[in-house]
């Protein structure tokens, strides 16, 4: 597997409403990502997450959260400076999801050099396709923020968006 300085991981389920927000952000980033940025989408299986980020220097992960906050609220966590609230990511269809993968990787000293997690407060996680208006707006803001994060990590010559 090739190593990329930055790996963007969009997490979600395209058939559960706002749970697809991580997928949407990743798809939008991928359209114009610099060459040295790899963008993938996954469900929230923790073991697969740990495997996918093992060759990346910087990982930016985007997922829907359900914490009781206002719909569309954007949370940003720098995993090396703050723990991930496990209750935010309890909508996972897997018992071993995003927060558990991060904490296990921390315990095993297998975290990427930089790991940023964006959580977007979802409104509807019922079966269906499409994001709520609040989450759609937040998704566009997260695309902008992730692009800024990429520019802050990569040297200028690698951050030209197509």
Q: Which domains does the chain have, with CATH numbers?
A: 6-158 (3.40.50.1450)
Q: Which residues of the chain have pLDDT under 50?
A: 1-2, 92-94, 157-159, 161-162
| pTM flag (> 0.75) | yes
Q: 102 near 158, Cβ under 8 Å?
A: no
Q: Exposure string (b/e) for 43-73, b if CB count within 10 Å is 16 or more?
A: bbbbebbbebbeebebbbbbbbbbeeeebbb
| pLDDT for residue 112 | 93
Q: How far is CA 33 from CA 75, 112, 158, in A?
A: 22, 20, 10
pLDDT attached to residue 90: 58
């Amino acid at each position: 597997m090739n190593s990329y300085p930055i790996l963007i991981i969009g997490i979600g389920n395209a058939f559960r409403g706002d749970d697809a927000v991580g997928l949407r952000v990743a798809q939008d980033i991928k359209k114009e990502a610099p060459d040295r940025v790899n963008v993938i989408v996954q469900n929230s299986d923790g073991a697969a997450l740990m495997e996918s980020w093992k060759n990346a220097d910087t990982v930016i992960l985007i997922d829907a959260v359900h914490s009781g906050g206002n719909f569309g609220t954007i949370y940003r966590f720098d995993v090396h400076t703050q723990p991930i609230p496990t209750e935010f990511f309890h909508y996972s269809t897997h018992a071993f999801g995003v927060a558990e993968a991060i904490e296990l990787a921390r315990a095993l000293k297998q975290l990427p050099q930089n790991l940023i997690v964006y959580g977007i407060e979802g409104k509807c996680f019922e079966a269906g396709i499409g994001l709520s208006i609040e989450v759609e707006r937040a998704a566009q803001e997260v695309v902008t923020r992730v692009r800024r994060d990429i520019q802050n990590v990569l040297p200028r010559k690698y951050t030209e968006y197509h």
